[in-house]
Structure 1
Amino acid sequence: MNFSTFSILLLSLSLIIVSHAPLAAVGIGLHESLCGETKENAARCLELLKGDPRIAGAKSDSELCKLILRFAMKKGIETQKFLKEELKKHPSPNLKECATTLYDGVIGSFKSALGELGEDDLTASYDAGVASDGPTTCDRALAAAKLNDPYIAALDRDILLLSAIAFKAIEKLPS
């Protein structure tokens, strides 16, 4: 085999390999594009979504929505569990409201949004957006009680961001 034949064979093989490479390897993933839409929160969005490695591999907007909503529900449950543990150490009516009523609402909103996907995406996006009410109200309740916990504030900010991410993801679904 001479050099020119070998070169053509190598070029052909390279083109075949590149043409079969996954789209995500060539461009950015769906989740990265979505996080880019969160503007100043893009870095935190990417950091948060790394918490579920399946999100980076989402092949469709529908799959991405489901994974984000499941992840958001999981984070809501984890936050609620943390708040309930804090309530045992520092009993407070305001903290109790956060740990029970408000985070029950957060988890319920994400769960409801997940259940509506594909059937009523308008309601699903509304439910995903409403999930932000819990951490917003929790922040106000804790501030009113002069309970300043930076860790709880950070958890609330993450849930707020997940609500916004889920809302944006659902908006991308075809009507």
Structure 2
Amino acid sequence: MNFSTFSILLFSLSLIIVSHAPLPTSGLTLHETICKETKENEARCLALLKEDPKIAAAKDITELTKLILKLALKKGTETQNFLKDMMKTDPSPDLKQCATTLYDGVIGSFKSALGELGEDDMTASYDAGVASDGPSTCERALNAAKTNPSIAAHDKDILLLSAIAFKSIEKLPS
């Protein structure tokens, strides 16, 4: 084999290896790459994902996606508990619906998405996206009732985590 053939072969092999590298280009970590795709929510995305130090250390997209879904599940449970605590002083039907039915759905969707990972990523993606239905409905109902604005911040975080999880699942290898 002459030198030019060997050089072309080595160059081609290098391109193949680089194109399949799991690390994102442009020097960003995996979670930063996902957050960049959330556009105007990038700063909040980074702040949310920073709550779990394991997320920044994720070695591949599969590990990252599992960690994101676990964080989303944790935040969904925390929000539901926050809403249930609020019900003690504000027993409105809208708040009750948010704290029970709607956030039961959020938590169930994130659990389902986590359970489907690796087995049926399409369903996991769907479940992660559907998790946004609860906070959207909750926010509309509570805005109409002019309830505590701090609930909106929780709802927005869950909506964002749903979008982040959806984007992360989309990047999983088929």
TM-score, scaled to structure 2: 0.84
Please name the residue that 1:78 is paired with. Answer: 78
What is the CA-CA distance between 1:151 and the residue it aligns to? 1.0
What is the CA-CA distance between 1:72 and the residue it aligns to? 0.2
What is the CA-CA distance between 1:106 and the residue it aligns to? 0.3
Matched residues in 1 for 2:37 and 2:82: separation?
Answer: 30
Structure 2 matches for 1:73-152, cutoff 5 A?
73-147=73-147, 149-152=148-151
Misfit runs of 4+, over 3 Å? none
Letter in 2 for 1:129: G
Matched residues in 1 for 2:52 and 2:87: separation?
Answer: 28
TM-score, scaled to structure 1: 0.84
Please name the residue that 1:68 is paired with. Answer: 68
Consecutive unaligned residues in structure 1, runs of 5 or more: 1-22
Consecutive unaligned residues in structure 2, runs of 5 or more: 1-22
| Alignment: residue pair count | 151
Please name the residue that 1:48 is paired with. Answer: 48
Matched residues in 2 for 1:86 and 1:142: separation?
Answer: 13
Matched residues in 2 for 1:73 and 1:51: separation?
Answer: 13
Please name the residue that 1:165 is paired with. Answer: 164
What is the CA-CA distance between 1:141 and the residue it aligns to? 1.3
Matched residues in 1 for 2:30 and 2:44: separation?
Answer: 16
Matched residues in 2 for 1:172 and 1:150: separation?
Answer: 34
Kindly name which structure, 1 or 2, has the bigger radius of gyration based on alpha carbons.
1
Letter in 2 for 1:133: D
Matched residues in 2 for 1:28 and 1:146: separation?
Answer: 41
Matched residues in 2 for 1:132 and 1:146: separation?
Answer: 21
Structure 2 matches for 1:12-51, cutoff 5 A?
27-51=27-51
Please name the residue that 1:4 is paired with. Answer: none
For each residue in 1:11-47, what CA deviation from the matched residue of structure 2 results, as whole angstroms up to 9, or x when unmatched?
A: xxxxxxxxxxxx79x9221000110010110110000
Matched residues in 2 for 1:172 and 1:162: separation?
Answer: 16
Please name the residue that 1:10 is paired with. Answer: none
